[in-house]
Structure 1
Amino acid sequence: MNYKTCINYNILKENYQLKLPLELDYLIPVDDSVRTVSRVIDSIDLYELEKTYSRKSSIPVSTMLKIVIYASMNRIYSSRDIEKACKRDINFMYLLGGASVPDHSTIARFRTNHFSIVSKEIMNKINCILLDVGEINGETLYIDGTKIESAANRYTFVWKKTVNKNFKKLMDKISDFVKKCEELFEIKVVYNNEIKIKHLKKLFKRLKKLSIDKEIEFVHGKGRRKTQIQKCIETLSSYIDRLKTYNKHLMKLGNRNSYSKTDNDATFMRMKEDHMKNGQLKPAYNLEIAVDSAYITWVEIFSNPTDVGTLIPFLDSLDSNTTFKYKNIVADAGYESEENYLYLKKKGKISYIKTSNYEIRKTRKYKNDPGLAENMIYVPEDDYYICKDGRKLTFEKEYKRKASFDYYKNISVYSCNDCSHCEYKRSCIRYFKSDINFDDRIKRLHISKTFTSERAENIERITSEKGIELRINRSIQVEGAFAQIKNNMGFRRFLSKGKNNVLSECIIVALAHNINKLHRKIANL
């Protein structure tokens, strides 16, 4: 039997006929999630997104937004896989509505060059819809963070400690080199014993001019002897290049301890998904989310691995980009700090933050520790503490301690006049075998009165009936949202690089999670 073959199979029309229905709408179930995402996006104004295009797009911006969100709802994140789905999947064809299929580069440009600019505004508009229909209450906010691996290679690290060490070694070499040049060529460019890169550039120009005046020929290659001035010029050139490199590293690092060469905004963090079980650090971002009624109402990306410094910028971003304000803030122990307590009080918000010592303070060892201020009696009228042995710890001095990048807290020091012959001394004062003067040591307490007061108020709130209910809800809602994103939606690594692009990627995933949840609620009515 002979088969007809052809590159363009549409030429062979003998096996084709017109079939009904012509509308794709009839082939999609009425309760499919593609209808929900289409309706939600059609109900918001996308004028700001349209303004990001310099000329009219061949594919409507609403269609592009529907496609990328619906793709995330179905665990499709690669732009090439989205393009393939638009060609083969009937639901994506329904969203296109007869428009031409966008190629993968068009989809990637939409996410990075257009959606990333207005992603926060679009998220706020969809949150307003959820608030209007009663899906979120706009009163209590549950906050937590997780680390998501960056698209950068894991072996592209730059460590701040190593850069500082090499920088110091280089400056010592440069100092010796400058002195050597002063002796050899009688060129002085440093006068205040402080060498800067401008001095090295000036020295380089003077050496080059000297070589030209003396008509020195620069030689290269094996068996050719270099002059002293040529050696100095080449050495100085390498020093200047290395100095520029170290300065560039330090500028990119900022307050961080590391960054990736292929994604400068990514920081090396210890991940929970450690398949090698060796504590390997990977380039990652700290993804912070806020959840209300199991919906993700806000998303932010941070380069620092700890959560304590993210609360204030996160809430500032939330307040400046949303139209409704939250009163109750519920978070875990990683967010507790004096600065955060004072910030929430200043903003008129009520904190329900689990204290860092919440679990350990229940133990017998903690309750019986005589060296802790919590286990001593405080007399506020005369401002002193009474220890377990009945001795007074009076106020000695006050100093400031740096708590964060730009925040200092006041520390009050209380000390005992005499701790000799105290039966609790070894358990009250930290004891080292090498400490030969232990018998002469006295007990000192370093206490932040502000932090102690704020923590006491917070403990009273979180141990109340309402506080216990909110903390239980936090572990269910926030951890449940992360479980949906990581396990059910398969979002475990970023595909884009750079903080803005990564944030845009996260917002698309958050919107996909919210619309999926809204669709399931509608389907169960």
Structure 2
Amino acid sequence: MNDVYSSRDIEKACRRDINFKWLLQGQKVPDHNTIARFRNGRLKGILEGLFSQLIVKLGELGEIQYENIFIDGTKIEAYANKYTFVWKKTTLKNEQKLQEKARAFLLKLNQEIKTGIPLGESAITVETLQKYIVFLKEKQQAEKIEFVSGKGKRKTNLQRATETLKEFLEKQTKYDRYNELFDGRNSFSKTDTDATFMHMKEDHMRNSQLKPGYNVQIGVEAEYIVGLAISSERSDQLTLISFLDKLIENLPQKYHKVIADAGYESEENYVYLEKQGLKPFIKPQTYEVMKKKSFSKIIGKRENMVYDSVNDEYLCANHKKLVVVGKATRTSKSGYKSVVTLYECESCEGCSFKKQCTKAAGNKKLSVSKLFLEKRSESLNNITSTEGILLRMNRSIQVEGAFGVLKEDHSFRRFVMRGKKNVETEFLLLSFGFNINKLHNKIQQDRCGHSLHKIEVA
């Protein structure tokens, strides 16, 4: 509530600030280590439940109606070194080099020394390397060969082979750990392995530098934060379902309408909302572009072609038909499978519009998910209705306004704790303070019970 985030600053405030002293009621000032341990340990498992109780209380006070939830996300920098990055592409490349080098070495070793350990065609694992090291150690003991070190000492071939295998083992163990930590991501930070490298809006050097951070998702109703989730996923699109699942689990009632921006649009999300009985107010990704006059001149776009629903055909600018040539199944990053219909022009040969229409060497092709277009059309109708216009305006005021208050007014731009669970605890505390301040302000301004801002005409 008072923009004091670090445990040392809280301890200092308890010694100097009269308000904090009053809260202590004459008790001994806690040490900053005590505050940090309490926050890291005791709060980690119970704070989410306490936050849900606060939302239920706001509902009992008539502040929350469980009607409209406005969802948005922002990226906040992690408490991690910007230069301790690990990239998946580099890791896989180096691991492949190690595998080739280790295989060649073990094949040579098997020729020189009959180890009897099967190598196989699959990848060389940590267990395989450990078996070879054990074999060489037993051979060393049996032949009573002494391993030496230091200047002027000459190592035997057996010692050199053992040291090489230990080096391979160390590297392969590291790569196995890295691959486990990636967990579907392309990067992580060594100082906070749950943090992913992302583009931040706060880019003081203006060079699109990637920084370790978290994708923070919040749901807002009546200007109160009613739910939150911390994600290592850079895309908002892949966070919606897990966020709403968590919200449904924690709150006593289910929301009726979900209002979100274009970053959350996908067929998977639309299907999920329909199954949950939630009405979507999601802006299509092409919404702003389609309003421009220049968009109608792009003849290669599906939206600018005439569709014949009876014959299931598209008609291009040159009055040629794009007919169905088959269907395909596409799998998203989350594992969702979408069925798309494939269309191809009957003939683009000699067409004067071809350069404007397609870059393909052959005929113009389209891939269309009919289910996605149907759900997008429903959401478009929702957001362009009178109710939808009001809710879209409130989304920009309420949820984006909440992030604006937290990042600008409360100067919260970087976490002070590490690890996903600790970061979630930290942001829950911040949301607690935000909601209590918001309730106080609404009482002072006599705005209690008002959940939506009305459209005002200048």
The residue that corresponds to 1:361 in the other structure is 290
The structural deviation recorded for 1:524 is 2.9
The residue that corresponds to 1:204 in the other structure is 133
Residue 191 of structure 2 is aligned to residue 270 of structure 1: no
Residue 350 of structure 2 is aligned to residue 429 of structure 1: no
The residue that corresponds to 2:118 in the other structure is 190
The structural deviation recorded for 1:193 is 1.6
Residue 211 of structure 2 is aligned to residue 282 of structure 1: yes
The residue that corresponds to 2:456 in the other structure is none
Residue 377 of structure 2 is aligned to residue 456 of structure 1: yes
Q: Which amino acid aligns with 2:14?
A: C
Looking at structure 2, the residues matched to 430 and 357 of structure 1 have their Cα atoms a distance apart, in angstroms, of: 21
The structural deviation recorded for 1:220 is 1.2
Looking at structure 1, the residues matched to 383 and 74 of structure 2 have their Cα atoms a distance apart, in angstroms, of: 23
The residue that corresponds to 1:445 in the other structure is 366
Residue 87 of structure 2 is aligned to residue 166 of structure 1: no
Q: Could you state the TM-score of these two structures normalised by the residue count of structure 2?
A: 0.94
Distance change (3 Å), C-alpha of 1:199 and 1:233: same
Q: Could you state the TM-score of these two structures normalised by the residue count of structure 1?
A: 0.83
- 2:315 aligns with one of 373, 386, 392: 386
The structural deviation recorded for 1:388 is 2.1
SS in 2 for 1:481: helix
Looking at structure 2, the residues matched to 520 and 405 of structure 1 have their Cα atoms a distance apart, in angstroms, of: 41
Q: Which amino acid aligns with 2:442?
A: K
The residue that corresponds to 2:454 in the other structure is none
The structural deviation recorded for 1:227 is 1.2
Alignment of 1:322-401 (within 5 A): 322-401=251-330
Aligned length: 445
Looking at structure 2, the residues matched to 198 and 506 of structure 1 have their Cα atoms a distance apart, in angstroms, of: 42
SS in 1 for 2:46: helix
Looking at structure 1, the residues matched to 284 and 86 of structure 2 have their Cα atoms a distance apart, in angstroms, of: 34
SS in 2 for 1:299: strand
Looking at structure 2, the residues matched to 191 and 86 of structure 1 have their Cα atoms a distance apart, in angstroms, of: 65
Q: Which runs of 5+ in 1 are unaligned?
A: 1-72, 432-437
Q: Which amino acid aligns with 1:170?
A: L
- 1:420 aligns with one of 345, 349, 361: 349
Identity %: 45
Q: Which amino acid aligns with 1:176?
A: A
Q: Give 4+ residue runs of structure 1 displaced > 6 Å after superposition.
A: none
The structural deviation recorded for 1:191 is 4.7
The residue that corresponds to 1:108 in the other structure is 36
Query: Does the aligned pair in 1 maintain the 2:238–2:334 contact within 8 Å?
Result: no
Alignment of 1:473-512 (within 5 A): 473-512=394-433
Q: What CA deviation, in whole Å up to 9, does each residue of 1:437-493 have, x standing for no partner?
A: x4xx11111111111111111111111121111111111111111111111112111
The structural deviation recorded for 1:385 is 1.7
SS in 2 for 1:510: helix
Q: Which amino acid aligns with 1:229?
A: L
Residue 435 of structure 2 is aligned to residue 514 of structure 1: yes
The residue that corresponds to 1:120 in the other structure is 48
Q: What CA deviation, in whole Å up to 9, does each residue of 1:205-231 have, x standing for no partner?
A: 112222222222212122222111111
Q: Which amino acid aligns with 2:326?
A: K
How well do the aligned residues superpose, as a CA RMSD in angstroms? 1.4
The structural deviation recorded for 1:116 is 2.0
The residue that corresponds to 1:180 in the other structure is 108
Alignment of 1:220-239 (within 5 A): 220-239=149-168
The structural deviation recorded for 1:88 is 2.0
Query: Does the aligned pair in 1 maintain the 2:71–2:259 contact within 8 Å?
Result: yes
SS in 2 for 1:355: coil
The residue that corresponds to 2:67 in the other structure is 139
Residue 224 of structure 2 is aligned to residue 303 of structure 1: no
Question: Which stretch shows the higher mean deviation, 103-112 or 476-485?
Answer: 103-112
Q: Which amino acid aligns with 1:302?
A: S
Q: Which amino acid aligns with 2:8?
A: R
Q: Which runs of 5+ in 2 are unaligned?
A: 447-458
Query: Does the aligned pair in 1 maintain the 2:341–2:370 contact within 8 Å?
Result: yes
